[in-house]
């Protein structure tokens, strides 16, 4: 056993005006998980400590908390691997309202799943036909492989806890919801693909992800939510759902590299907004002025870069 100080963020809205940290010193048993340690603290040191748990098998996702600054499943995380200089900091998940101690309000998180219709829409949907007469809808192993990763999501909200897009915009669907959406968009049995992709291409959907990659780092189930979002974006562009800033940004980016072998950052904002979107273009002027005053605007005349022709050649070959 090793003696460790657990610094746990505490907050009881009925008594506390603001959160605070309370230290608990405890011998950590060999092989103990972070959840084991939380339980021992609650059972032997402080019965007022509040945290969530259920399956203890990394299946339900209930016990997700921040350990040393980042979300982890407490039941899956070995305590010995998280001890830093004899200490461990445990906090509630980020980007969520704290209800008490390590318990956060997950209602905003779960409510967003309904916005992507997380169920199959089949030919038999809405039919008055008896379930006994509905034929089985088969799926090949290859088709299932396309949705396999997304189907392993346990909805623990770890990805949302560190999501920078969610932090800046609470209306953003979030990586878990978009991963769930990909699971149905790419399901060979679903009949509402176009409707789904149009919905996901609207504001707060697939194009509002900033590619910070935190969701991939924090997901305990190898869902790789950002990869699922990229897959949805690819599907949207292939289906011609491009009348939005995100898709136009991608097309402008590709066109710039293809034509000149480099990225022209003076043109990208205009192409992203849409050359006929006068209100949108006018909204860029204040941003441009601030960039100019701060010396952050890209040069109008770019310096020559060696081997730009090679870049254009690669693009042409990929197109073929």
* Chain centre to alpha carbon of residue 38: 27
pLDDT for position 303: 76
DSSP string across 184-235: HHT-TT-S-HHHHHHHHTSTTSGGG-----HHHHH-TT---HHHHHHHHHHH
pLDDT at 257: 83
**Other Cβ atoms closer than 10 A to 117:** 16
End-to-end CA distance of the chain: 63
Residue 292 CA to residue 3 CA, distance in Å, equals: 56
* Segment 210-225, tens digit of pLDDT: 999 999 999 999 999 9
Q: Sign of dihedral through CA atoms 130, 135, 136, 140?
A: negative
The closest of 103, 96, 114 to 62, measured between CA atoms, is 103
pLDDT of residue 265: 84
Summarised one tens digit per residue, pLDDT across range 68-118 is 999 999 999 999 999 999 999 999 999 999 999 999 999 999 999 999 999
Question: pLDDT digits over 249-307, tens only?
Answer: 998 888 888 888 888 888 888 888 888 888 888 888 898 889 888 888 888 877 777 77
The residue-averaged pLDDT of 134-155 equals: 91
What are the backbone dihedrals phi and psi of residue 194, each rounded to the nearest 5 degrees, phi first? -60, -45
| Beta carbons within 10 angstroms of residue 129's beta carbon | 9
**Mean pLDDT (the chain, rounded):** 91
9-36: average pLDDT: 96
The DSSP annotation for 139-192 comes to --HHHHHHHHHHHT-----HHHHT-HHHHH-TTS--HHHHHHHHHHHT-TT-S-
Domains and CATH numbers, the chain: 2-104 (3.10.20.30), 107-125+139-238 (1.10.1060.10), 245-319 (no CATH)
Q: Are 204 and 135 in contact (CB under 8 A)?
A: no
Q: Is the pLDDT of residue 170 over 50?
A: yes
In this predicted structure, what is the pLDDT of residue 122? 82
- Comparison of pLDDT for 137 and 239, the residue scoring more: 239
pLDDT above 50 (res 127): no
Over residues 164-175, mean pLDDT:
96
Band (128; pLDDT cuts 50, 70, 90): very low
List phi, psi (to 5°) of 71: -70, 140
Residues 42, 44, 47, CA angle at the centre, nearest 5°? Answer: 40
Going 231 to 232 to 233 to 236, the CA torsion angle's sign is: positive
pLDDT at 28: 95
pLDDT higher than threshold 70 for residue 247: yes
| In the predicted structure, residue 207 carries a pLDDT above the cut 60 | yes
Q: What is the pLDDT of residue 276?
A: 82
The pLDDT confidence band at residue 129, using thresholds 50, 70 and 90, is very low
What global pTM score does this model have?
Answer: 0.87
* Whether the Cβ atoms of residue 264 and residue 302 lie closer than 8 Å to each other: yes
């Amino acid at each position: 056993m090793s003696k460790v100080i657990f610094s746990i963020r505490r907050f009881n809205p009925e008594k506390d005006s603001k959160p605070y940290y309370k230290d608990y010193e405890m011998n950590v048993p060999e092989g103990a998980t972070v959840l084991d340690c939380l339980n021992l603290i609650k059972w032997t040191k402080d019965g007022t400590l509040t945290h969530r748990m259920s399956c203890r098998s990394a299946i339900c996702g209930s016990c997700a908390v921040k350990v040393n600054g980042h979300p982890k499943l407490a039941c899956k995380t070995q305590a010995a691997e998280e001890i830093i200089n004899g200490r461990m900091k445990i906090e509630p998940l980020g980007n969520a309202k704290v209800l008490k101690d390590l318990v956060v309000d997950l209602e905003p998180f779960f409510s967003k799943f309904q916005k992507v219709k997380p169920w199959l829409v089949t030919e038999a949907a809405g039919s008055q036909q008896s379930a006994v007469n509905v034929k089985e809808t088969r799926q090949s192993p290859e088709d299932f492989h396309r949705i396999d990763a997304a189907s392993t999501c346990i909805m623990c909200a770890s990805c949302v806890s560190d999501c920078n897009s969610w932090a800046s915009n609470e209306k953003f669907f979030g990586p878990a919801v978009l991963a769930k959406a990909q699971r149905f968009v790419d399901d060979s049995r679903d009949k509402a693909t176009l409707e789904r992709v149009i919905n996901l291409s609207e504001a707060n959907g697939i194009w509002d992800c900033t590619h910070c990659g935190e969701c991939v780092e924090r997901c305990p189930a190898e869902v790789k939510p950002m990869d699922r979002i990229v897959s949805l974006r690819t599907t949207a562009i292939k289906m011609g759902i491009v009348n939005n800033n995100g898709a136009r940004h991608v097309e402008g980016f590709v066109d710039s590299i293809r034509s000149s072998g480099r990225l022209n950052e003076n043109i990208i904002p205009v192409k992203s907004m849409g050359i006929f979107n006068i209100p949108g273009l006018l909204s860029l002027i204040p941003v441009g002025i601030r960039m100019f005053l701060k010396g952050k605007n890209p040069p109008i005349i770019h310096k020559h870069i060696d081997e730009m022709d090679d870049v254009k050649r690669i693009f042409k070959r990929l197109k073929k």
